């Protein structure tokens, strides 16, 4: 073996396209440039936003410093218990049917979930298109097979329920369906309660496994309980399922990597041994990747979930953010309507959460970026939170102009 052959066949990996757009934005000298790409909430003045409840929790934690010792491999108990209650509600959280593992935020939760399901022999996945770009590599990393159906219909600009139902009816038994519980990324188009009910019925009947990702709980309705409706319904229906939870967005804890994986084991009450096995397997897998989840973010999150006065403030923070997002959506619609922009733009208020899937085609996106200095993802996804009083008029005028030009 020659010494220079170590990584000779190693190709250079391609970067996520969003990284490219962000670097284009950074080098654009235009003073009126607008960045609507990244999925991070921004304050009204365009700055990064620290939740007031989080700021208080940080001070409290500093004054009551628990230090930096090793925690538990399954996670900080107050964190995992609180996280469970946020998704499943008080009553279900303590029924003894849920195994929980603190993870490296949402990505880490999805990653551990796919490893765990692989161990259970569940390797055949279905995801609705379009989807968050990390899902496919994440599932393939765990050795899973990924099939697609259409989540979103670009013509109606709503969920493609027919395609969903067809996939549910055609999927082989024991297939895994990866759903986003609310605020679908990137389309903002969510299933209705009636549709979720039908999905649950088919999944139960056809023995399919629901894999929920919930990254924006609270940003759809402003009420976290309401936004967890789908998961709670599946739980009540007696389905085994898992839920991958992140506090990146709804606490603004992005870089602290606070997240949790919950596995619902319906037979856990009659068979605590099975629940223990599931819990033990989660910890074993985690031990071989991370050993422990990071403490700081989980402690902040635990304070927000368990201390009544902080919890109330956190609830208000989430409600206010959602209200601001909804007002921005209404404002966009009003402005486009006032300009009589060609086309129907109702979907801006029908879609939920941080993102608006504008429906602009590739050429329109390319033009709005080059001519108007408005940056969004290639698929035309806009981060609503990056709009504010100072740029919303310019954004709407640019959109109107490009739509007319390319009509």
Partner 1 sequence: MLSRTVQKNLFKRSNAVSSVRFISAFSEIPLAPPDKILGIAEAYNKDSNPQKINLGVGAYRDDTGRPIIFPSVKKAEEKLLTAETEKEYTGIIGNKNFQNIIKNFIFNNSGKDVNGEKLIKDGRIVSSQTISGTGSLRVIADFLNRFYNTKHILVPKPTWANHIAVFNDAGITSEFYSYYDTSVNGLDFENLKSSLQNAQEGSIVLLHACCHNPTGMDLTAEQWDEVLAIVQEKSFYPLVDMAYQGFASGDPYKDISLIRRLNELVVAGNIPSYALCQSFAKNMGLYGERTGSISIVTESQEASTRIESQLKKLIRPMYSSPPIHGSKIVEQIFADESLFQSWLSDLNSVVGRLNSIRTKFYEKLDKTNYNWEHLNKQRGMFVYTGLTKEQVIELREKYSVYATEDGRFSISGINESNVDYLADAVNKVIAK
The distance from CA 279 to its chain's CA centroid, rounded to whole angstroms, is: 24
Contact 148, 129 (CB under 8 A): yes
Binding mask 50-89 for partner 1 (x = CB under 8 A): x---x---xx--x--x-xxxxx-x----------------
Q: Which stretch binds partner 1 (CB under 8 A): 23-31, 295-303, 316-324, 360-368?
A: 295-303
Instruction: Give the one residue of 148, 150, 204, 397 binding partner 1; rule: CB under 8 A.
Output: 204
Positive/negative CA dihedral, 355, 356, 359, 365: negative
Task: Name the token pair of 360.
Answer: 């602009």
Residue 287 binds partner 1 (CB under 8 A): yes
First to last CA, the chain: 62
Residues 162-201 that bind partner 1 (CB under 8 A): 173-174
Instruction: Give the one residue of 28, 78, 85, 119 binding partner 1; rule: CB under 8 A.
Output: 119
For partner 1, the closer CB: 198 or 394: 198
Positive/negative CA dihedral, 166, 168, 173, 177: positive
Residue 265 binds partner 1 (CB under 8 A): yes
Instruction: Give the one residue of 128, 186, 218, 293 binding partner 1; rule: CB under 8 A.
Output: 293
Residues 309-348 that bind partner 1 (CB under 8 A): none
Residues 1-20 that bind partner 1 (CB under 8 A): 1, 3-7, 9-16
Residues 86-105 that bind partner 1 (CB under 8 A): 103-105
Contact 386, 355 (CB under 8 A): no
CA distances from 400 to 362, 366, 373, 377, 397 (A): 16, 15, 14, 18, 5
Residues 25-44 that bind partner 1 (CB under 8 A): 40
Residues 218-237 that bind partner 1 (CB under 8 A): 237
For partner 1, the closer CB: 54 or 230: 54
Task: Name the token pair of 270.
Answer: 């009659």
Site residue total, partner 1 (CB under 8 A): 86
Q: In angstroms, rounded to a whole number, what is the distance separating the alpha carbons of residues 90 and 84? A: 8
The nearest distance, CB 370 to partner 1, in angstroms, is 27
Residue 48 binds partner 1 (CB under 8 A): yes
**Which H or E element spans position 405?**
helix 392-405
Residue 281 binds partner 1 (CB under 8 A): yes
Residues 123-142 that bind partner 1 (CB under 8 A): 134, 137-138, 140-141
Contact 84, 245 (CB under 8 A): no
Contact 253, 54 (CB under 8 A): yes
Residue 290 binds partner 1 (CB under 8 A): yes
Q: Strands 176-180 and 124-129, how do they pair?
A: parallel
295-306 helix and 308-339 helix, angle to the nearest 10 degrees = 90
For partner 1, the closer CB: 6 or 155: 6
Residue 296 binds partner 1 (CB under 8 A): yes
For partner 1, the closer CB: 159 or 265: 265
Strands (E), 215-352: 241-246, 258-264
């Amino acid at each position: 073996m020659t010494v220079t052959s170590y990584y000779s066949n190693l190709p250079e990996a391609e970067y996520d396209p969003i990284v490219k757009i962000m670097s284009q934005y950074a080098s654009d000298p235009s003073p009126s440039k607008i960045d609507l790409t990244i999925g991070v909430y921004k304050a009204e003045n365009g700055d990064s936003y620290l939740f007031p409840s989080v700021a208080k929790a940080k001070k409290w934690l500093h004054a009551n410093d628990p230090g930096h010792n090793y925690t538990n491999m399954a996670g900080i108990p107050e964190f995992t218990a609180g996280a469970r209650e946020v998704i499943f509600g008080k009553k279900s959280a303590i029924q003894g049917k849920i195994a929980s593992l603190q993870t490296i935020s949402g990505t880490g939760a999805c990653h551990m979930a796919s490893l765990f399901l692989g161990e259970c022999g569940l390797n055949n996945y279905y995801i609705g298109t379009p989807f968050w770009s990390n899902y496919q590599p994440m599932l393939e990393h765990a050795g899973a097979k990924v099939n697609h159906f259409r989540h979103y219909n670009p013509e109606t600009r709503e969920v493609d329920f027919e395609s969903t139902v067809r996939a549910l009816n055609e999927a082989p038994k024991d297939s895994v369906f990866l759903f986003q519980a609310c605020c679908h990324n990137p389309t903002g188009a969510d299933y209705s309660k009636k549709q979720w009910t039908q999905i649950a019925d088919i999944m139960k009947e056809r023995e399919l496994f629901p894999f929920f990702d919930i990254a924006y709980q609270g940003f759809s309705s402003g009420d976290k309980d309401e936004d967890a409706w789908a998961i709670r319904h599946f739980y009540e229906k007696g389905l085994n399922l898992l839920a991958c939870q992140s506090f990146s967005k709804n606490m603004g804890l992005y870089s602290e990597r606070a997240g949790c994986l919950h596995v619902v084991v319906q037979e856990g009450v009659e068979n605590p041994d099975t629940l223990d096995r599931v819990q033990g397997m989660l910890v074993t897998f985690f031990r071989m990747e991370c050993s422990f989840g990071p403490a700081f973010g989980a402690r902040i999150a635990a304070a927000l979930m368990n201390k009544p006065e902080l919890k109330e403030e956190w609830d208000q923070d989430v409600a206010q953010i959602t209200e601001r997002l909804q007002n921005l959506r209404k404002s966009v619609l009003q402005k486009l309507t006032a300009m009589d922009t060609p086309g129907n733009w109702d979907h801006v208020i029908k879609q939920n959460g941080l993102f608006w899937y504008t429906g602009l085609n590739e050429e329109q996106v390319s033009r709005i970026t080059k001519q108007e200095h408005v940056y969004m993802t290639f698929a035309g996804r806009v981060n609503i939170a990056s709009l504010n009083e100072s740029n919303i008029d310019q954004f709407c005028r640019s959109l109107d102009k490009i739509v007319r030009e390319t009509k």
